[in-house]
Chain A
Amino acid sequence: MDMNNVIDRRAAVAKLLEARDGALVVTGLGSPSYDVHAHGDTDDNFYLWGAMGGAALTGLGLAQAQHNKRVMVITGDGEMLMAFGALATISVARPTNLDIIVLDNQHFGETGMQDSHTGMGIDLAAVAGAAGFDVAQTIRSMDGVDELCEQLAKSANGPRFHVLKIESTNLPRSLPPRDATYIKTRFRAHLGLQPC
C-alpha cells in the first residue's frame, strides 16, 4: 500500500462525471468501468469489459469522428500500461478533444492486487509528457481533482493525460451491462446514429 495514494476513486470519478458537460466517456475494463457505472448508467458511457489496452485508442477514434464533442477516457494503470505505444500514436494524432484519465492504484486490482509497473517506479505522466501530450500531470489530492474538473472545461491544444493516484482498495462492484451490442447501440443512438 502506497501511503501517498489518498484519492477515493469513486468520489473522484463522481466529480469528473458531474463536470463532464456533454463529454462522451469510454472506460477501461475492470474497476474504472465499475466506478463510472456506480455514478449512474447513462447512454453516453461506453464501457469496455475486455480488449485490454483498447480504451484510450477507442477514445482516439471516437474523438476523431466527433470533433465537436469532448471525449474522456477513464481507465486504470494496468490497462494504460498495456497500451504504452498508444501514447505515441495519440500524441502524433494530436486530437484537441481527448482527455485520458488514469485511475492509478499501482496494482492489478482485479487479479489479486499484484504490484503494477507504476508501483515499481514507472511514471506514466512523465512518459506521456515525453511523448508530447499537451498536458501530462499526476494528481494526488481531491483538491487536485477539483482543479482538474475546471481544467476539463477549458479548450486544449492537444491530447491531455491525467494520472490520479487513488487508494488501492477493492470496492463493491457496480456492474455495467455486459451486452456489448446494447451498449454500442444506445451509445450511437445518443449521437443520433442509426443501428444497422
Chain B
Amino acid sequence: MTKSASRDLNIDWPVALYETLIAANVRHMSYVPDAGHTSLINLLNEDVEVTTNVLTTEEEGIAIATGSWLGGTRSVVLMQSSGVGNCINMLSLPVQTRIPLLMLVTMRGEWNEFNPWQVPMGQATQAALEAIGVTVFRAETGQDLIELTEQAATMTYEADGQIAVLISQRLLGKKTW
C-alpha cells in the first residue's frame, strides 16, 4: 500500500495488481493473452515462485484453477471479456464445489471500441457471469482496481467466493492499431 501511494495507479496499476496478488499468496496463474494484461502476464511469468499456464481457450483456466486450489495453491485466471462467454458451463465447477476462483477480466466493447465484433460479448459479460453465479466487481480507475482486487482476494480465498473483477476499457485506454 505504501508503494502504491507514490504511483500513478491509472498508469502503474499492472505492477500494483501484481503486488496485490502476491501479497494475497496467489502463486498460480492461467491466461489467454490480452493487450491490457500484457504487463501483468509478464510480471507473473517472470516470477519463479508462480506457476503459469497459457491456455487455448478461457474455460481451461477455470478447471485448472479449481484443480490448483484442490491441491492447496491459490490461482488467478486472466482473460478479456470476449473469453468470459467461453467459460460459462465450466464455471459450474467452482460454483457447485464452492471452490475459490478469482478472474481478472479486461473489458472490450464498452468504451471507445473500434471493433463492432467485440461489442456483443462486452455488453453481455457482467450479466453472463452473474447468471452462472459469479460475483462481479467493476473497476473504473487504477485505485478502484487495486482496492477491489485486494478485497476480492479476501472474499475469494477466505470466503470461498467465485469472483470476477472487470477492468474497464476506459482505464485500459484505446487500443492502438
Contact = CB atoms under 8 A, between A and B. Distances in A.
B60 A57 contact: yes
A44 B137 CA distance: 35
Contact of B68 (A24, A48, A55, A62): A62
B28 interface: yes
- Looking at chain B's contact residues, is the secondary structure mostly helix, strand, loop, or mixed? mixed
B35 interface: no
A125 interface: no
Given A62-B70, A191-B72, A196-B160, A89 B28 contact: no
A64 B68 contact: yes
A64 B51 contact: yes
Most buried by A among B51, B62, B89, B93: B93
B66 A61 contact: yes
A54 B56 contact: no
Contacts of B160: 196
Nearest to B59: A53
Interface residues of A, number: 36
Interface string A56-68: 0111111111100
Interface in A8-64: 24, 26, 46, 48, 50-55, 57-64
- Looking at chain A's contact residues, is the secondary structure mostly helix, strand, loop, or mixed? helix
B63 interface: yes
A85 B57 CA distance: 7
A89 B68 contact: no
Interface string B70-114: 111101000000000000011011001111000000000000000
A50 B92 contact: yes
Contacts of B89: 50-52
A60 B70 CA distance: 11
B124 interface: no
A61 B72 CA distance: 10
Contacts of A88: 56
B64 interface: yes
A51 B63 contact: yes
A159 to B, nearest CB: 12
B158 interface: yes
Nearest to A60: B64
Interface in B101-135: none
Contact of B60 (A62, A65, A89, A191): A89
A128 B28 CA distance: 24
Given A26-B67, A58-B93, A89-B56, A64 B73 contact: yes
Given A58-B67, A89-B53, A89-B55, 20 more contacts: A50-B89, A51-B93, A54-B93, A58-B63, A61-B63, A61-B65, A61-B68, A62-B67, A62-B71, A63-B71, A64-B53, A65-B28, A65-B69, A65-B71, A65-B73, A85-B55, A181-B98, A187-B70, A196-B158, A196-B159
Interface of B: 28, 51, 53-57, 59-60, 62-73, 75, 89-90, 92-93, 96-99, 158-160
